[in-house]
Structure 1
Amino acid sequence: MIRGTTPRRASMNEGDASMASRAKFQNRDAERHLKALGLSTYALTFTGLLYRGPCHAMPLSELLDGLDEVARRNKKAFQHVFIHGADDDDHDLVLLGPTQEPFTDELKAAGYDPAAVVHVGPGHVETWLRLGESVPRATRQSIAAYLNWAYGVSVLPKQGLKFGYLAGFECRAYEESLRNGHYPRIKLLEATGAVASRGRTLIETVEELDAEMRAAIECDLLEDIEAERAIAEAEEASREFDEHVAKCAAVWLGYYQGQGLHACNEIDRTEVQAAFEHDVPRDLVVEALTRAATRKGSRARAYAEATVAAVYDLGSDDPSPDLEPS
């Protein structure tokens, strides 16, 4: 239901006693879509930019006879047309998606043959399944949530589609109007009316499937939390490291004041030896010396690595060879 409203049998034009004849509406996708879903009664809902109308519950035959009026509201009143089961506790339809592309082959391989597949717009495909027997809304929601999760549809459990677009009508949600002033129509990709061969299995195992999904989601969330914590800790360590390097480089540069190139090289060796003796991490010393030894130009890092290696690799204060003439 939409915002708690109760579907009612009513004309789609308030005050009209009957709906318009079906003769003028030529697109057959709407009829094929409705018949493929296999319900005898549907709920029809119109929405616009700032409008969401009540649910209109009506038999399939009445709805088919009123497609002209549906088309008028779609085109002239700029309203989208949605359908769903009129009795939330008494039908077998499950709506999956939206997905980027159809996943009909995957569903068929698993025994979940779609009854209808609808292309609404770029990256928006809706897939309807028939379970073969009427089940409560909560069961259908759990089955939809499980299948969406199992096939990687990016919707949260219990937050999937509640009703779907009716094929054959214009959609303004994704594209601008065409040159002729019309908008692209919602396309019916498949309308087999098939009943999922494993629909009964879904119904019988829905509690186990729901538990499986929730456990996996909880595990994924815990892994995400751990990953986020590790990333945060690494970023914090990187900030602290960078701050320490900057401080060391600043001190190092202070030692260079008033010194010649040869004296600066001697200072570098002395400071690296002192860092080694105080167990200062090697990578920190390399980074600090690289920043301080600007006199070496583009060879600053190579010079720093060689100077540090001469001490840290050998564990001695033997002078390292100059990379450049002092």
Structure 2
Amino acid sequence: MQHLTHLPPAIFLMGPTASGKSRVALDIAAHFPVEIISVDSAQVYRYMNIGTAKPDQATLFRTPHHLINLLDPNEQYSAAQFRNDALNVMEEITQRNKIPLLVGGTMLYFRALQQGLSALPPADQDLRRMLEDTAEQLGWPAMHQKLEALDQETAARIKPTDSQRIQRALEVCYLTQQPMSTLLKTPRQAEFPYRAINIALIPNERSQLHQRIAARFESMLNCGLIDEVQSIRQQFPTLNIESPSMRCVGYRQTCLYLDDKINATELHDMGIAATRQLAKRQLTWLRHMKTDAVREFDCLADDLTAQVQCSLQKTMF
């Protein structure tokens, strides 16, 4: 195995939603020989542009991004697929004598890429349909009780109404005859052939990040988020609120509004609250990473991009 210093570099730009990752990434791309790879479980979907804060066409023309617009909203994408796709793109970028710049807020994807994934079985569509049919008869709280009998540790982490995670945990139990919690503890065996330069954009003042989040969601509503979701649902009529794409923050709340389950004020308030919860989870992930391996920058600093560029200049050249 190559010594770490002999491995090609890869920049990982991480942070909570609304921390300014995209702006910093574009500035890095203007000054360094990098190519941007999106690390975002929502931007992989076509047509989902406003609610994912996807770069506009002019930006994509100037600075192409890899791993966005990969599939339709009625399809599914996993961390394992992301890892495989990202490694392939990173190799291509490195062969072009460029540096991969991975940018986003899907922390599970960052971890899967650098550390690998536990040996969980792939989805079994027949089994999933069977579980869905059973849940339709009994309800997901009853399915949660079934999971509790098979894997108490996993059941304790999942809400009785979280159909997607209950279904996956039961699927793993039935396919492997082992609790998912046991399999998740299996050591990961995955080589990562890059020297990771981990950068985290962390707000020194959480309240200011919350203000940014509110302003951003309001801007999404003003830019046509409701029309975007309505158009997607018309184009893909099998979508529902539990579809992976529609579970994304902002889209789930808009679906509730379009189904007349909440009003416009509730959509506004629930969308902001859900985005704040997402940011909180992202910051928790970052706190649990090894602090000596991550360079933190205050995302609220006026000279943020200059600080990041200076750090990269010292690291890579």
TM norm structure 1: 0.22
The structure having more radius of gyration, on CA atoms, is: 1
Q: Which has the higher helix share?
A: 2
Q: Which has the higher strand share?
A: 1
TM norm structure 2: 0.22
Higher relative contact order (CA 8 A, sep 6+): 2
